[in-house]
Chain A
Amino acid sequence: MKIHEYQAKELFRKYKIAVPKGRAAFTPEEAILSAKELGEYPVVIKAQIHAGGRGKGGGVKLAGSEAEAENIAKQIIGMSLITHQTGAEGRVVKKVLVEQGLNIEKELYLSILPDRATGKNLIIASEAGGMDIEAVAEETPKKLIKVYVDPLMGIQPYHLRKTAFGLNISADCIKGFSALLKGLYNLFTDYDCSLVEINPLVITKDNKVIALDAKMDFDDNAIFRHKNIAEYRDIDEEDALEAEASKFGLNYINLNGNIGNMVNGAGLAMATMDIIKQAGAEPANFLDVGGGADAVMIENGFRIILRDSKVKGILINIFGGILRCDVLASGVVEAAKKNDINVPVVVRMEGTNVAEGRKILLDSGLAIITAVDIKDAAQKVSAIVAG
């Protein structure tokens, strides 16, 4: 789960990680008040959306006066901010963070994430701060400092030294940097983060180490033990259909294609998307109803796909194990009764109670196209796209 920069900075403050003075504003009026509170110009006004590349997209601006702050706030709040992570439609900005401007000496990069290959926590740092870290990794991998921390042992002073000296931190700043990194590691582990990233981390002209930006992502599987983090969730940042699906415990991702699909199991769901592509169409979504799905979940999943206006046809691919084919068929029939189905639906079922499932679909009188196996299903999807 992602949170906003201003929320991440609230957590940073709790862990004594220095951040610029400032606060969030939801209207231009609030933004001007926040700027006045800071008492000194320039101030920085930063759009708060869950996507990177905000600066390049025109969502981060410097204001030298109150009038300028007002103009910029009006401009940013309500704009559709387009970055390389938002897609072409962009994201509507509903809040900004107003912060003091700093005199920056040097910009660094610092992040922590779990490393799946080693099962350890990994600190990544670079002197090339402010840049896209993926570009740094690609172009100059030697500039990246990587320090692995055994989670059973926790962060040790030598980890801090290794990172600090690797970044050529000056003697005046070593203490401040080490305290910050230690706090950041503790924050990372205390809240089950899947990423904390400061880009840039800045050294100011008066030798302070300050997190100019803050990005945090949390392990969805661990949110249950962090109720305060769950409260940071911002539904406005989520796709409407995805938010709706999550209410029913459905694993749904909205994509750009024209063939909707519903599958049990993540691997088979991905493979089914690939089949759609190979059949000459594009998947409109990823939807894994899970192994233990019941008729109600199936019905809701089907309803959500039908609400997607891009969808020109639907492929349901179920390998019945725990989820029985008769349960699936009942759910599809129920959803069909309650919703207008105006696109062709191909159903491929195999496994537990497949005969009963096929009978339910047949008896329903619905115009459902039955596929006998995956190859057949792909051909039937091809026919929909061609026709």
Chain B
Amino acid sequence: MSIFVNKNTRVVVQGITGKEGRFHTAQCVDYGTRIVAGVTPGKGGQQADNISVFNTVAEAALKTKADCSLIFVPPQFAADAIMEAADAGIKLIVAITEGIPIADMMRVKGFLKDKNTRLIGPNCPGIITPGECKIGIMPAPIHTPGGPIGVISRSGTLTYEVVYQLTQKNIGQTTCIGIGGDPVNGTNFIDCLKAFEEDADTKGIVMVGEIGGSAEEEASEFISAYVTKPVVGFVAGLTAPPGRRMGHAGAIISGGSGTAAGKITAMKKAGINVCENLGTFGELCAETFNFSG
């Protein structure tokens, strides 16, 4: 089992003919992901590495039964691409694009409210169910199929680091999701926690946060009320200065709120096993997720 995506997920890639889109589509196909279509307006009818390209998502969805979209469209057009996919009835949208204006994402959020669509990202590495499908840009070899751990993270390479450490300790993953580093995004920690709690194959959860906003604090409250599975947490940015945006648009301590220390306190209070030194992450997971006994 897994959450949100599996081997049957049918993916259309928006922006398939761009450099990034083409490269990562090939990587996803290699992994076994069912990429059924591509979309680049004006290039309908062409083929991109043996994948049919359509002008619109609606046409691609109609002809290929795609139910998931992977977006590599440049930031100035990305919000529109997300709305187009949702309007075409796509159930899951994974937006990799970094640098979408916040006002555009606020519009998208409003637009998605009455749609039956889940958005992951933007500014994220995507989602992978190891051994079944990879819908994103994460390096495949670091993952271990079969579970029992679900991974949720606001980061990209930091997620790879924690997954790598899990794999080094022979701890597999059910699904790993990057929810993105932007201040306004789609799927949040709580959505993923809820899905992992309900997923029978997931026995434990890894949650990786960073400075900025209050998503970790809200997730902690949710965990203390509803999550029965063990959770290991990490928060990046203990040394980040206030008022400076640390790479991610959402990673900023403003007016004394959104600090790593505050988030760690909230997580500990919720019973999360917080790792305070990234070098020992794998070890802490091995101790916490010891299900044999």
* Chain A residues with a Cβ under 8 A of chain B: 85, 114, 116-117, 119-121, 134, 137, 150-152, 189, 192, 194, 219-222, 224-225, 251, 253, 255, 263-271, 273-278, 282-283, 286, 288, 291-292, 319-322, 350-352, 373-378
- Cross-chain contact B101 with A267 (CB below 8 angstroms): no
Cα–Cα, bound, A375→B102 (Å): 37
Q: Which of A224, A251, A265, A283 contacts B158 (CB 8 A)?
A: A265
Find residues 31-55 in chain B having any chain A CB closer than 8 Å to their own CB.
Answer: none
User: Is the beta-carbon distance between A267 and B278 smaller than 8 angstroms?
Assistant: no
B255 surroundings in chain A (CB, below 8 A)? 134, 137
Cβ B279 vs Cβ A221 within 8 A: no
Asked whether A116 lies within 8 Å of B241 as measured between CB atoms, the reply is no
Task: Encode contact with A along B232-267: 1 for CB under 8 Å, 0 otherwise.
Answer: 001011111101111111110001100010000000
Per-position 1/0 for B258-284, Cβ under 8 A of A:
001000000000000000111110000
Q: B225 an interface residue at 8 Å Cβ cutoff?
A: no
Tell me if B159 counts as interface (CB < 8 A to partner A): yes
Question: A114-B183, A266-B251, A275-B278 known; A151 and B110 CB under 8 Å?
Answer: yes
Residue among B210, B276, B279 with the highest chain A CB neighbour number at 10 A: B279
- Chain A residues with CB under 8 Å of B234's CB are 271
Q: Which residues of B contact A351 (CB under 8 A)?
A: 139, 142, 160, 164
Residue from the list A120, A219, A269, A322 in contact with B246, Cβ < 8 A? A269
Asked, given contacts A114-B106, A321-B157, whether A273 binds B240 with beta carbons under 8 Å apart, the answer is yes
Q: For residue B250, which residues in chain A have a CB less than 8 angstroms away from its CB?
A: 116
The answer to whether B181 touches A374, judged by C-beta atoms less than 8 angstroms apart, is: no
Q: Which residues of B contact A376 (CB under 8 A)?
A: 279
Which residues of chain A are within 8 angstroms of B240 by Cβ–Cβ distance? 270, 273, 286
Contacts of A221 in B (CB 8 A): 75, 99-102, 249
Query: B153 interface residue, CB < 8 Å from A?
Result: yes
Contacting B160 at CB < 8 Å: which of A224, A275, A286, A319? A319
> Residue B154 at the A interface, CB < 8 A?
yes
Say yes or no: A267 contacts B102, CB within 8 Å: no
Complex contact B249–A286 (CB within 8 A): no
Top 3 A-B residue pairs of the complex, sorted by shortest distance between their CB atoms: A267-B155, A266-B247, A265-B157
Q: Contact partner of A219 among B102, B161, B238, CB < 8 A?
A: B102
Chain B residue numbers with a CB within 8 Å of A374 are 161, 278-279
A264 to B213, CA, bound (A): 23
Which residues of B have CB within 8 Å of A276?
Answer: 239
Say yes or no: is B211 at the interface (Cβ < 8 Å to chain A).
yes
Main SS of the interface on chain B?
Answer: loop
CB contacts (< 8 Å) of B206 on chain A: these are: none
Q: What would be 5 A-B contacts, judged by CB atoms less than 8 Å apart?
A: A192-B103, A219-B101, A219-B102, A266-B246, A321-B157
Closest to B20 in A: A292
A-B pair count, CB < 8 Å, reads 171
Instruction: Give Cα A224–Cα B74 distance, bound, in whole angstroms.
Output: 12
Secondary structure at the A interface, as helix, strand, loop or mixed, is mixed
Interface-centre pick from B103, B138, B237 (highest chain A CB count, 10 A): B103
Find chain B residues with CB under 8 A from A288 CB. Answer: 247
B76 is an interface residue with CB less than 8 A from chain A: yes
- CB pair B164–A319 under 8 Å, yes or no, is yes
Is A222 a contact partner of B139 (Cβ separation < 8 A)? Answer: no
B105 within 8 A of A: yes
Residue from the set B75, B99, B161, B244 with the largest chain A CB neighbour count within 10 Å: B161
Partner of A222, one of B101, B137, B243: B101
Q: Which residues of B contact A150 (CB under 8 A)?
A: 110
Min C-beta distance of A149 to chain B, whole Å: 10
- B247–A322 contact, CB under 8 A? no
Q: In the bound complex, what is the Cα–Cα distance between A178 and B287 (angstroms)? A: 60
Contact A265 B156 (CB under 8 A): yes
A380 vs chain B, min Cβ distance (A): 11
Q: How far is the CB of B65 from chain A (nearest CB, A)?
A: 30
Residues in B129-160 with C-beta less than 8 Å from chain A: 137-139, 142, 153-160
Given A265-B158, A267-B236, A319-B157, A119 contacting B110 (CB threshold 8 A): yes
Chain B residues in 8 Å Cβ range of A263? 157
B107 within 8 A of A: yes
| A-chain residues with CB within 8 Å of residue B278 when the two chains form the complex | 271, 274-275, 374
Smallest CB gap from B214: residue in A: A117
Check if B102 sits within 8 Å of A278, measured CB to CB.
Answer: no
- B208 at the A interface (CB under 8 A): yes
Residues B238 and A274 in contact, CB atoms below 8 Å apart: yes
Cα–Cα, bound, A286→B247 (Å): 9
A119/B184 in contact, CB under 8 A: yes
Say yes or no: A134-B157 contact (C-beta < 8 A), given A219-B101, A221-B102, A276-B239.
no
Q: Are B155 and A266 in contact (CB under 8 A)?
A: yes
Complex alpha-carbon distance, A85 and B242, angstroms: 10
Q: Which residues of B contact A286 (CB under 8 A)?
A: 240, 244, 246-247
